[in-house]
């Protein structure tokens, strides 16, 4: 290749790369309305986005991996926590603090009810944007996620290889615990003392005996497995004490599992959780 050919080659390949780059950019923009569900951008979503900017939520939180890594990522928070939890949290974050557990606190934002409704609509819209798997891993800033996500299969189920089969309800339950939508692991750890948005389910079997025996229990369960099933399908039937878990008699646990899980799946979950003595 002489000097002139080298020059043409350099110019030609630069042009080609530029064309590919422009083509892909145009292609991305063409897909934006579909990926972002543009038709679902209601006035409430727009209002919520403005509140989000005005209060500089991004100075502490991330959306789609963008923002500050000081506080939890909120990309999927609407699905993970549900509207009742978000409404109560945004009204007064301090109610959700546990001095032992939290060293990072969210300051009171003094939001009006309309601002909060807008933020919830905005975060709900964000959670449904098809971001093609980005960010690739959940962004964890609390450190609790590691224990929550890696819930062990209890020893009882793993002792003999004969017990470990695809038909073992305990094994199947462990799978549902991780894969239900929203995942139980988003709110429950199985490590004693590691309470997240929901109480740790370590020791649930022992705790339930006390709950069922106490005069305060108003649900209709009579034993451990029916209690767990009731907790999943009718979360407000019995409330675990604590302002961070419920408001006005309504549990912050989603009440959608009765509809979204089959009775078999709920039974598998009960079998799995009953092994946590
Ligand atoms: C000064 C930093 C800061 C600002 C600004 C801030 N937050 Fe937070 N936020 C936090 C911290 C820290 C936590 C975690 C507290 C905890 O662990 O309980 C949090 C938690 C949350 C949660 C609960 C997350 C969960 O996993 O339960 C939501 C929802 C939330 N913030 C929304 C917002 C919104 C909306 C705004 C803007 C209006 C905002 N935050 C502004 C620091 C901040
Ligand atoms: C958005 C957060 C959230 C998700 C997701 C969630 N829970 Fe809960 N869960 C809670 C909260 C908050 C409580 C405590 C309030 C109450 O009693 O309902 C709770 C309570 C429970 C209890 C009763 C605990 C006790 O000590 O009495 C069980 C059992 C339970 N959840 C199981 C599950 C299972 C199984 C799943 C998945 C199918 C799940 N949860 C998903 C938030 C959640």
Q: Residues near ligand 1 with C-beta < 6 Å?
A: 52, 55-57, 59-61, 70-72, 74, 77, 81, 86, 89, 96, 102, 104-107, 109, 119, 142, 197
CA distance 41 to 160: 53
CA distance 34 to 121: 18
How many angstroms separate the Cα of 170 from the Cα of each of 165, 258, 275? 10, 19, 8
Pick the ligand that lies closest to the CA of residue 210: 2
Whether 137 maps to a domain, the answer reads no
Query: Do 197 and 227 fall into the same domain?
Result: yes
pLDDT per residue, tens digit, the chain (277 aa), is 899 999 999 999 999 999 999 999 999 999 999 999 999 999 999 999 999 999 999 999 999 989 998 888 999 899 888 888 899 889 988 877 766 665 667 888 999 999 999 999 999 999 999 988 877 777 766 544 433 334 444 444 444 444 455 688 988 999 999 999 889 998 999 888 888 889 999 999 999 999 999 998 989 999 999 999 999 999 999 999 888 899 989 999 999 999 999 999 999 999 999 999 8
Query: Do 220 and 158 fall into the same domain?
Result: yes
Residues 6+ apart with CB under 8 A from 214: none
Whether 140 maps to a domain, the answer reads no
Structurally, the chain folds into a number of domains equal to: 3
Query: Do 102 and 222 fall into the same domain?
Result: no
Q: How far is the CA of 232 from the centre of ligand 2 (A)?
A: 7
Query: Do 50 and 5 fall into the same domain?
Result: no
Q: Residues near ligand 2 with C-beta < 6 Å?
A: 81-82, 85, 180, 182, 184, 186-188, 197-199, 201, 204, 207, 211, 228, 231-232, 235, 239-240, 245-246, 251-254, 257, 269, 273
Query: Do 208 and 267 fall into the same domain?
Result: yes
Query: Do 165 and 225 fall into the same domain?
Result: yes
Whether 133 maps to a domain, the answer reads no
Query: Do 79 and 120 fall into the same domain?
Result: yes
Residues 6+ apart with CB under 8 A from 273: 173, 177, 201, 204, 205, 228
Pick the ligand that lies closest to the CA of residue 98: 1
Which of 53, 57, 76 for a ligand 1 pocket mutation test, highest count of atoms within 8 Å of Cβ?
A: 57
Q: Which structural domain, as residue segments, surrounds residue 8?
A: 1-35
- The owner of tokens 């793993």 is 158
Query: Do 41 and 121 fall into the same domain?
Result: yes
The domain that holds 236 is classified in CATH as 1.10.760.10
Query: Do 100 and 160 fall into the same domain?
Result: no
**Are the CB atoms for 232 and 222 separated by under 8 Å?**
no
Instruction: Tell me which of 98, 127, 156 is where a domain ends.
Output: 127
CA distance 28 to 47: 26
Query: Do 43 and 24 fall into the same domain?
Result: no
Nearest alpha carbon to residue 269 among 162, 151, 144, 159: 151
Nearest CA to ligand 2 atom 21: 231
Ligand 1 atom nearest the C-alpha of 104 is 12
Query: Do 230 and 114 fall into the same domain?
Result: no
Whether 138 maps to a domain, the answer reads no
């Amino acid at each position: 290749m002489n000097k002139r050919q080298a020059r043409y080659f350099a110019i030609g390949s630069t042009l080609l790369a530029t064309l590919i780059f422009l083509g892909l950019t145009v292609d991305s923009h063409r897909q934006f309305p579909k990926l972002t569900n543009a038709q679902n951008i209601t006035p409430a979503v727009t209002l919520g986005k403005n509140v989000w900017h005005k209060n500089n939520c991004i100075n502490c939180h991330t959306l789609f991996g963008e923002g500050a890594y000081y506080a939890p990522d909120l990309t999927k928070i609407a699905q993970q926590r549900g509207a009742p939890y978000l409404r109560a949290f945004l009204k007064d974050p301090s109610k959700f603090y546990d001095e032992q557990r939290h060293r990072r606190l969210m300051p009171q934002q003094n939001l009006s009810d309309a601002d909060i409704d807008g933020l919830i609509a905005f975060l709900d819209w964000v959670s449904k944007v098809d971001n093609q798997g980005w960010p690739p891993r959940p962004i964890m800033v609390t450190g609790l996620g590691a224990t929550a996500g890696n819930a062990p299969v209890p020893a009882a189920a793993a002792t003999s290889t004969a017990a470990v089969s695809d038909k073992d309800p305990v094994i199947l339950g462990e799978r549902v615990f991780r894969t239900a939508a929203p995942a139980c692991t988003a709110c429950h750890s199985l490590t004693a003392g590691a309470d997240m948005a929901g109480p740790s389910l370590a020791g649930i079997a022992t705790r339930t005996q006390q709950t069922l025996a106490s005069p305060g229990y108003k649900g209709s369960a009579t034993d451990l497995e029916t209690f767990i099933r009731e907790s999943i399908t009718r979360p407000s039937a019995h409330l675990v004490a604590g302002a961070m878990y419920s408001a006005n008699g309504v549990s912050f646990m989603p009440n959608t599992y009765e509809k979204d899980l089959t009775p078999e799946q709920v039974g598998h979950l009960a079998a799995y959780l009953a092994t946590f003595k």
